[in-house]
Amino acid sequence: MPKTRIVPPQWKAHNKYSAGFKVSGGSLVVLSGKGAVDADGNIVGVGDMVAQTRWVMDMLGHMLEVGGATMNDVIKSVIYVTDVKSFFEDAWPVYASYFKDDYPAATLVGVTELAFPELLVEIDFTAFIPDGH
């Protein structure tokens, strides 16, 4: 099995993320953090954590495709937000809706600011593509 979910006995699966993964026999796709900035440098969804999260997840999906991966291949996610409470209450369900089965291992980090003052969320991914897929 090239991708095995790590589930310690004391781990209670909750919040739609995994404790971790062991991988072998494949390739990694590592994506830089993506904020809600369009191709022209405009901020998408100013003031709207949900809109920015949806846009970022869509863009990360496209970036994964270019690397030959899908959302189901994501094994690690790091989420940087300027308002943790708002993200959990409003945007986490949007984020989680992009994954079907084994949710990625995830880290959520509250920060005072991102690359541009209007950015509320930035996410990066690591994906694993098993050999033969």
Per residue in 29-52, pLDDT (tens digit) is 999 999 999 999 999 999 999 999
10 pLDDT above the threshold of 70: no
3 pLDDT above the threshold of 60: yes
Task: Taking residues 98-124, report their average pLDDT.
Answer: 94
Token representation of residue 113: 């600011």
Instruction: Judge contact between 2 and 130, C-beta under 8 A.
Output: yes
Nearest to 82 by CA among 131, 40, 119: 119
Q: What per-residue string of b and e applies to 75-104 under the rule 16 or more CB within 10 Å gives b?
A: bbbbbbbbeeeebeeebbebbeebbeebbb
pLDDT classification of 92: cutoffs 50, 70, 90: very high
Other Cβ atoms within 10 Å of 43 Cβ, number: 17
pTM: 0.87
What domains lie within the chain, and their CATH numbers? Answer: 30-130 (3.30.1330.40)
